[in-house]
Structures are given as structure tokens and as C-alpha cells.
Amino acid sequence: MYRQLIFKSLTDTLYKYRKIVIVSHVNPDGDALGSSLALHLFAKKVGIDSQVIIPNDYPNFLSWLPSINDIIVYDKCKEEAKQKLTDAELICYLDFNTESRTGVMHNDLLHFAKIPKLLIDHHIGADTSKFEAYFSETEISSTSEMVAELIKYHGFESYLDDEIANCILTGMITDTGSFTHSIYRNTFSLCGEILSATNVDYMKIHQNIYDNSTENRLRLLGFLISDRMTVLNDYNTAYIYASKSDLESFNYQVGDTEGVVNYPLSISNIKMSVLLTERQGCIRLSFRSKGDFSVNDLARDHFDGGGHFNAAGGTLHCSLEEAIEKLLSVLPEYKELLNR
């Protein structure tokens, strides 16, 4: 009953405002794009004028997604993006819950604070009071799964098609690491319903995501594991770093380091893996863990970040060397938890 009330509130809000802009977070991943495009395509089905805007470019390996060319990339087309925001009657926040997660779009979103907002997000820390309608839950695999539930409320038989299903499954697959973390019983049952209701080729989606690398991307992965990985057995932790020059030497493209942080977790005793990447004038940290260790707590308390229990991110404005030193300095605080 609680979910039904949420979906009714979301639906009433979407139908009330007929011109919407869908926004997602900086460095958009499969879930950001999948959920945004799925909602965009659904909105068009019900006669709503919809536009997706993302702060910066998406990874090349996701360029096959349906309607990807409908997206406006803010840092490439700022004036067009600002005009769409000006004309919007409703702004939908998908896969993030605070403006700071939109990077270069941060100030502009704050400028449009008076425009009604809708939230669909599965991250911790949402201030739902500023949204006219919201679906905010943390114990759900992905924002794409949340959008799927909204569409299911209207009826898969009428509103779910192959294009929307491709977007939703992309988000669910990528945000769970191919169903290895952040999954719940409903995640699998919903995937089954989507596959039964459509003609999508699951294996083709998986191949498009994971078997779509450039040679440079694969060579970068090999280099980072071979030359830039450090294993700290005392803390059951491993970290990998990628400097700006490392990335440039392999002709780095957006998304080339996606998934790198997961590889150290395949080492039997490793409980936490960290990837530190130097880019855009700061150090971006990605955290992954196995079992009962919360990287969300670590990222939130020390690295101005957060996310999920076993998958989180953070940012430091310092040199790469200083970021590594900071990581090493906080590990003793978590030694007992990491050695359970």
C-alpha cells in the first residue's frame, strides 16, 4: 500500500506538469543513463514533453542505449541546457539527491530552485522536504529498478517496450556489478518480469556493456592492475591509483576506468578495494567492499562522499600523493572491522 501511494504521488505530479527536464549526476554511469532514459521514454508515451540533461559526457560503451542522442550534455551545450531548464515546469532528479552531485551544473540547478522538483533515487541522505513528489529508498538495487516499478504501476503490458527495458536492465546490471552486490530478492523477480514482458536479448545487453571495450581501455586495465595496485594485507584492503599522465598515455576516454575498482575484490582475503583517479583538478575515489564493511560510512566521514553500504564514492581536492596518504592514514581506524 505504501508503494502504491508513492507511485500515485509521482504519477499525479508528472501528469500535472507537462514539460519536464530529467537530470542526473556528474560522470553518468549505466544506472544514471538507464533510469533517466527509461523515464524519458515513458514520459513521451504518456504525452509529456521530456528532456534529459546530464552534466558531462557518458562512457562510449553506453552509446548504444535507445534515445541516447536525445540527451543534452551540459558542458557541451550550456545555453541549450539552460533554456530547457528555464522552460521546464518540473525538474526530475534521478540517481542523486543533492545538487552538489551534478558538478558543473550545481549553480544552475540552485538558480532554478523555485521550479517544482521530483526525486527518484536510492542513495542515502535525501532531503525529501524540497521535493513535490519522491521515491527515495536505499534498499533497492538501482534507480532503474525504481523507474521500472513506477512503470509497472501503470502496467507493463501497456507501457513497457523493448527500448525502455534495455535502459532499465542496463541500469540494474551495471549498478549491481552484474548482480554481485546491492541486490535484493525483488531485483531478480523484476528482471524476470521484464524479460517475460518484452523481446529484449539479455545476453546482447550484457555484451554491449562488458564486451565493448577499446584496445586502449583493456591495456589501461592491465597496466593499472600490474603497476598501480597495492595490496595491504594487514587491512584486507587493496588500492589502485591512476594519475592524469597514466590516463593520457592510454588515450583515456570517459568510462575507461569503469569497473576497475572491482578487480581487487577477487583476491580471496580482500574486503575493501579503492580506486583513486586524478582528473578534472581533483582526486576521485571509488570504494567497493565485500560482506559487512560499510564503505559508505568511510566515504562519508573522510572523503566528502557516500553512496551505498558496499559501493560508494568520494572526492578530495589535493594531489594524488596526498590523497593516498589520507587513505592510508584513516585505515587504522577501520582495522578491526576490516579484519573480522
Distance CA 285, CA 303 (A): 8
Q: Which three cell numbers stand for residue 60?
A: 562510449
Output the pLDDT for position 2: 81
**pLDDT, position 254:** 87
Distances (CA, A) of 290 to 12, 258, 311, 330: 40, 18, 9, 19
Task: Dig out the grid coordinates for 66 from the structure.
Answer: 535507445
For the segment 115-129, what is each residue's pLDDT rounded down to a tens digit? 999 999 999 889 999
- Supply 25's cell numbers: 549526476
C-alpha grid cell, residue 243: 594519475
Residue 29 C-alpha cell reads as: 554511469
Whether the per-residue pLDDT at 1 is higher than 80: the answer is no
Number of other residues whose CB lies within 10 A of the CB of residue 292 = 10
Contact predicate 120/147, CB 8 Å: yes
Tally of CB atoms within 10 A around 67: 18
Pairing of strands 306-307, 272-279: unpaired
What is the C-alpha to C-alpha distance for residues 55 and 12, in angstroms, rounded to an integer? Answer: 28
pLDDT at 278: 96
What integer pLDDT is reported at residue 192 of this predicted model?
A: 95
Residue 11 has a pLDDT of 96
Q: What is the pLDDT of residue 308?
A: 85
CA 258 to mean position of chain CA atoms:
11
Q: What are 21-62's pLDDT values in tens digits?
A: 999 999 999 999 999 999 999 999 999 999 999 999 999 999
Residue pair 49/90 in contact by the 8 Å Cβ criterion: no
Q: For position 279, what pLDDT does the model report?
A: 83
Going by C-beta distance under 8 Å and a sequence separation of 6 or more, which residues neighbour residue 41?
Answer: 66, 67, 161, 163, 164, 167
C-alpha cell read off for 62? 553506453
* Res 246: pLDDT: 97
Only one residue has cell 556489478, namely 177
Q: How many CB atoms lie within 10 A of CB 179?
A: 14
What values do phi and psi take at 265, rounded to 5? -65, -15
Whether pTM > 0.75 for this model: the answer is yes
Using 50, 70 and 90 to split pLDDT, how confident is the model at 281? confident
Split at pLDDT 50, 70, 90, the class of 103 is confident
Predicted confidence (pLDDT) at residue 165 exceeds the cutoff of 90: yes
Burial of 210 from C-beta contacts in 10 A (0-12 / 13-18 / 19+): middle
CA distances to 15, 194, 302 from 39, in Å: 13, 15, 34
Looking at every residue in the chain, the average pLDDT score rounds to 95
